[in-house]
Amino acid sequence: MNKKVMFFIVLGLIISGALIFLVTKYDFQNPKEVYTVYLEGKELGKINSKEELENYIDQEQEDLKTEYDVDKVYAPESLDIEKEITYDRKISTANEIYDEIKDQTSFTINGYEITIQEVAEKTSDSDQNNKTDEELGSQTIYVIDKSVFEDAVDNFVKAFVSEEDYEAFKNNTQSEIEETGSLIENIYIDNEITIKKGKIPADEYIYTDVNELSKYLIFGTLEEQKTYKVKKGETIEGISFDNKMSVEEFLIANPEFSDANNLLYEGQEVKLGILTPQLSLVEEDHVVEDQTVDFKTEIKYDNKKLVGTVTVQQEGVDGLNRVTKKVKKVNGETTNVIVTNTEVLKATREEIIIRGGNSGAVYASDEYWIWPTKTPYTISSPFGYRWGTLHDGSDIIGPGYGSPIYAANNGVVTEAGYRWPDGEHIVINHNNGYYTIYAHMSKLYVNVGDVVEAGQVIGAMGQTGNAYGTHLHFGAFRGYPYRGGTAFNAMELYR
């Protein structure tokens, strides 16, 4: 190679190097506007166009748009795209950034985020069972259309309030009470509910069907309810109890039945669904009703007569009261009753029985059981299953805080004191195989070992222990309560 050729080669290399140096120097002196993409604070890369990435996401998510019938799919809420000026020439494509995003998180669509706050339990022993505002739980529900949630809530209300009564309340067309009857004064959801419109994550469960969301709000699950084939002679009440349901739960799960007295036929299929309400529906009613007042029985003993002889000295007569009261229900269950007026329509007359032999109050009379509270009263929660758990007594409300509690029959006090969840309570052994329990009282007037007579005041109504409102929990057992004894419906004692 001659010197002339070599000279031009070297000169070319020098000129090329100078040009590269000048271009590089020019680039560093002229920074470029780009967009840096961050996912949950971590940088994914830089792109030339924010709009290009957003359009690419929308184009690639056609299946999502079809599934939820929406027009556009958006970037994840945790994705940030920030404009910046940089000298960095390493630029990613929209496709590359998209692939990183879809492998780590979900995209979003327009919809509604609904937060439902749990309602605090109202017990007297708040340190035992109440939760502070900070401890209360909440859940989030997602819908595309807000009306899906609104209609589902409407269906939830109709599960606990008859549709006819609910529509009359909403339309202000309730009939006035003439002599007896009831009026709904208010219906409301007690939960704090927040509805926020915006981008919702597409990988969360999004409700698009009213009936599906209604089912979740009532039963707390979307799982299929179990079915049961009716056997010959079975009743709604019996099937409900055997499957740990209340009659009310059975009727809600099987809306084709109007009440517990509806007849069933052999082979008929019914649904078994235990309610787990996700909302707290409060219904406040004004009620006027006529209540029968059972006459009381006084038993006197005459040791001059043969043991076992019974003479009726005075026939008993039931009375009748017209009672006006305010009733509060939560999800169909009565939680509080305030009696505002009592009019005596017919007075009671006491029955007086003379029995042969000595008193011996320690032994119960199998025939004559005394009602444990004053009248008027309301059984707010009867014996039976509720929310899948056996309620082993009858909750009696109405007579008011501090009103007297009576021994239901003769017997011996075997428990008198405080324990959770019964609060201040008494257990009486009636010495005929039966025990009765009286719970949530405010005061106790007897002690363990005391012999009590039917109708004797043993305590005062209260709200101790795990008690939602003032009431008496009255239970009956064959055998010692919670020590091998079996609970049964105390109302059977009065039939």
| Residue 326: per-residue pLDDT | 94
The two three-digit tokens of residue 269, written as one number? 């299929």
Residue 176 is assigned to a structural domain of this protein? no
pLDDT at 365: 72
Considering the domain boundaries, does residue 357 fall inside one? yes
- Residues 378 and 398 both lie in one domain: yes
pLDDT single digits (tens) 253-300: 898 998 899 999 999 999 998 889 999 999 999 999 999 988 888 888
Query: Is residue 126 domain-shared with residue 196, that is, in the same domain?
Result: yes
Asked whether the bond before 382 is cis by omega within 30 degrees of 0, the reply is: no
pLDDT at 434: 96
Non-local (6+) Cβ contacts of 235 within 8 A are: 260, 264
Structural element, H or E, at residue 187: strand 181-189
Last residue of a domain, one of 88, 105, 122: 105
Q: Are residues 306 and 356 in the same domain?
A: yes
Mean pLDDT across 32-45: 90
Do 382 and 408 fall within a single domain?
yes
- The model's pLDDT over 453-495, given as tens digits with 9 standing for 90+, comes to 888 999 999 999 998 889 999 999 999 999 999 999 999 998 7
The vertex-425 CA angle with 421 and 426, nearest 5°, equals 140
- Reference 414, options 397, 431, 393; nearest CA is 431
One domain, residues 95 and 126: no
pTM of the model: 0.80
Query: Mean per-residue pLDDT for 124-141?
Result: 64
Residue 195 Cα distances to 78, 110, 115, 206, 436, angstroms? 20, 13, 7, 14, 49
pLDDT at res. 10: 54
- Report d(CA 424, CA 405) in Å as an integer: 12
Same structural domain for residues 142 and 205? yes
Residue at 118 is within a domain: yes
In this structure, the answer to whether residues 7 and 100 fall within a common structural domain is no
If asked whether residues 51 and 123 sit together in one domain, one would say no
Tell me how many domains the chain contains.
5
Residue 178 falls inside a structural domain: no
Please indicate, yes or no, whether residues 46 and 129 belong to a single structural domain of this protein: no
Residue 244 has pLDDT above 60, yes or no: yes
* Mean pLDDT, rounded, for 336-353: 92
Strand pairing partners for 385? 390
Could you tell me the CA-to-CA distances from 494 to 11, 85, 162, 298, 433 in Å, in that order? 119, 87, 30, 16, 17
Joined tokens for residue 434: 């039966």
pLDDT for 297: 83
* More confident of the two residues 28 and 79: 79
Provide the residue count of the chain. Answer: 495
Structural domain harbouring 344: 281-494
102 or 7: which leads in pLDDT: 102
Cβ atoms within 10 Å, residue 343: 11
Tokens of 64: 């999502």
Q: With 60 as the cut, is the pLDDT of residue 132 above it?
A: no
Give Cα 452 distance to the centre of its chain: 40
Top pLDDT among 9 and 101 is at 101
- Statement: residue 175 has pLDDT above 90: yes
* Range of weakest confidence among 104-113, 117-126, 436-445: 117-126
Last residue of a domain, one of 66, 84, 105: 105
Counting Cα atoms < 13 Å in the Cβ hemisphere of 298 gives: 9
Domain check: are 193 and 90 in the same one? no
Q: Confidence class of residue 147 from pLDDT cuts 50, 70 and 90?
A: very high
Same domain, 37 and 133: no
My answer on whether 124 and 233 are in the same domain is no
Cα 476 to Cα 495: distance, rounded to the nearest angstrom = 14
